[in-house]
Structure 1
Amino acid sequence: MITTKGLTKVYESRGRQVTALDGVDLHVREGEVFGVIGQSGAGKSSLIRCVNLLERPTSGTVTVDGTDLTALAGRGHRAGKELRRARSRIGMVFQHFNLLSSRTVQDNVELPLEILGVSGAERARRALELLDLVGLADKARAYPGQLSGGQKQRVGIARALAGNPKVLLSDEATSALDPETTRSILQLLRDLNRQLGLTVLLITHEMDVVKTVCDSAALMRKGRVVESGTVAGLLATPGSELAGELFPVSGHATGPDRTVVDVTFHGEAATQPVISQLARTYNIGISILGAAMDTVGGRQIGRMRIELPGRYDENVVPVGFLREQGLQVAVVDPDAPAPATRADAPTATTDGPGTADGPGTTGSPAPTATPLAEETAK
């Protein structure tokens, strides 16, 4: 649904060039919620603004729903008729709502339709329908100053949907909201994604947003995408930076001749007493250095860092046992040779709780990642 190829954006600042995007390749599939995360200055805001050509890319292409928007941009600063028509199929939700204080809630939602020349009766019908969809049917005649932050963002979402878009862009839509309101807005976005078949591309600095609502994600650094894929796939990839941020576990070897490994549990394996089975089967003492577990996209996922006695070459069989149970295992000990990872690990899901031996209760829950500084578009 959204594809960027070689996307580059260079800004001129005080006589020097600043590269915000450096050859970004991204693919967002139709109907998924895709999150882009990274530190301040990584290029997230520039990326999302280039997707709908609010910012004109320096080079590269942006294709949305089969239409090459960069080919429609032309050379002028003003958007041509064809580009405006293509943009009407892309809704955008802003961090600070951007509502007109002098207009009622209904009038704010009607604004895009008014610009498109839709008749008054049809505008009113569509606006009231959307306000009901976002749970604000009783606020149609209120003004933005009379609403809470969460209600304002719901109006912003309704306005973004006015043109019946296929794609919804979210530019830090929850960063100005309290945690409870953030959860309600994320749930609304997920509901809209499912009910309307919307493809959602969102940027965020909050790992919990990725955990809660995203099907896929990309990690950006210095204008480049350094990692991308489905959230479940990234969590199952040894060495994944994004997986480490989503489920941070720590711990170091307690002494020489010890093997430290990270184990990822998901699906049915998350409810099985695998670690205790390993200890009983091979009569070895296992130390749990850290563990984290959470629900991602409705799937139970956990990570655990354990220590096995002896060097890696003495633990090849126990590590193989873990892999046979459908777990992903990555050797943490830098002196140990890192074996190949199973590519065919099962991805079954379960709603059941963790067992006394699984990551749900053997360690503390995953700590909330410290929010990264807010990134603003240059």
Structure 2
Amino acid sequence: MRRPRAVRPQLEAPQHPGPIRTRDPPAVPASAASHGTLSHPNNDGSPVITTTDLTKVYRTRDREVTALDGVNLHVDKGEVFGVVGQSGAGKSSLIRCVNLLERPTSGTVSVDGQDLTALAGSGKRASRALREARGRIGMVFQHFNLLSSRTVLGNVELPLEILGHSGQERTRKAKELLDLVGLADKAKAHPAQLSGGQKQRVGIARALAGDPKVLLSDEATSALDPETTRSVLQLLRELNRQLGLTVLLITHEMDVVKAVCDSAALMKGGRITESGTVAELLATPGSELARELFPVGGAPSEPGRTVVDVTFHGETTTEPVISKLSRTYNVDISILGAAMDTVAGKQVGRMRIELPGSFDDNVVPIGFLREQGLTVDVAAVADAPVTDAPATDAPGTDAPGTDAPAGRGEALTEEDAK
């Protein structure tokens, strides 16, 4: 299955040989790079959630706000897909349009092969067919939304009541779900007696009451402390694997993407500027999401140096590649920054190194790194120092170096070119 992907380069740099692929947002072509096959068993490569040219415009008396601007999204069966972006990027509008809590201004939304926008009808009330379709989509909210007057068991039973289940069946199913999320001993407690993490687990159990195929998570961990966040994310991953759930979550936290996501998309200004599996993103030079997942800093220490970002994944994380490069080509390498973490269950590292000389001087060493299976992204090429041209002995006498502008080619300015 192909997923659109547009990658924005970090900065403008000289054209380099090798497989550096960049593409200018915001347009996201349907024929963009392929979507890799995920490693976990629930995925069969078929899309469960698809949005096509999705637009949402909020109108007031005196202005319009475009929250979604032609969003194309594909979430494959059985994967955990994260949409990441800053506040105001359009994430919440997107996830609320997926189950039509917000009706799109234009475009289509399909879930499990069913076009939900076609079921919406023209009235304000949802059609019966849309309500039935929503029953197969669970949603977890940021602020829990539990009824304080009901017990934990009663909160989980609520959607089953709405669906018309008998009292005995409601109780049986709700107890099973509480056991699944680790709260079997809290059935008779009230929300006020629970911690934030426990409340969110109740919210997750309630979202699973209708046996959904899709689970939507709207910033479900943003109000939780780091330790509780990790436990809730672990629960979502376990449910994804045990129940075969497809999970679409939105977040502004990169740690959430690193912890549980198989794939991710970056939203800015109501548009998806980049998407793909996490492995694809980390292997794509210029990927903004990859840089934010593994931020490494460091500028050239002096003119005439080349700064390169190197991403290690798979078996390369345990290989002494940088040491081998230094010995093979007798080159001095400075490490400006490094980060290593586990992403989607695999160890990934990112390192920023500095090489002496211009990019042209380092074509072979950079090629060597790529041959070792590393992703290489040229972050900066510092200009070489400008030196005065040697004086001539007499007019008309050529001296070495006087035919070229002062300094190396990297230091040429537009005025020099004129």
TM-score, normalised by the number of residues in structure 1 = 0.88
Partner of 1:166: 213
1:204 pairs with 246, 251, 260, which one? 251
Instruction: Verify the 8 A CA contact 2:359 2:381 in the aligned structure 1.
Output: no
Partner of 1:362: none
Q: Does 1:270 align with 2:324?
A: no
Aligned to 2:200: 153
Tell me what 2:349 maps to: 302
Any stretches of 5+ residues in structure 1 without a counterpart?
337-378
Inter-partner Cα distance in structure 1 for 2:310 and 2:264: 21
Q: Deviations along 1:225-246, whole A, 9 cap, x unmatched?
A: 0111111110111111111111
Match of 2:59? 12
State whether structure 2 residue 137 is matched by structure 1 residue 90.
Answer: yes
Q: CA deviation at 1:154?
A: 0.3
Matched, 1:238 2:299: no
- The answer to whether the aligner puts 1:47 opposite 2:94 as a matched pair is yes
CA distance in 2, matches of 1:286, 1:36: 36
AA aligned to 1:297 is: A
User: Per the alignment, in what secondary structure is the counterpart of residue 57 of structure 1?
Assistant: coil
Counterpart pick for 1:291 among 325, 334, 338: 338
2:71 equivalent to 1:31: no
1:332 counterpart SS class: strand
Distance 1:166 1:334 in 2: 49
Give the partner amino acid of 2:253.
Answer: E
Aligned residue identity for 1:260? V
For 1:118, the aligned partner's letter is: H
SS in 1 for 2:73: strand
| C-alpha distance in 2 between matches for 1:73 and 1:328 | 45
Partners of 1:259 and 1:39 in 2: CA distance? 31
Q: CA deviation at 1:15?
A: 2.0
CA RMSD in angstroms, aligned pairs only = 1.0
Q: How does 1:1-378 map to 2 (within 5 A)?
A: 1-334=48-381
Task: Report the AA paired with residue 92 of structure 1.
Answer: M
Letter in 2 for 1:88: G
- Structure 2 stretches lacking a partner, 5+ long: 1-47, 384-418
Residues 358 and 381 in structure 2, CA contact (< 8 A), matched pair in contact too = no
Cα distance per residue 1:74-117 (max 9 Å; x no partner):
00111111000000000000000000000111110011110011
Number of residue pairs aligned between Structure 1 and Structure 2: 336
Q: Among the aligned pairs, what percent are the same residue? A: 80
CA distance in 1, matches of 2:208, 2:92: 21
Aligned-partner SS, 1:315: helix
Output the CA distance in 1 between the equivalents of 2:61 and 2:164.
41
1:198 to partner: Cα distance: 0.2
Name the stretch that deviates more: 228-237 or 151-160.
228-237
Q: Give the deviation of 1:333 after TM superposition.
A: 2.1
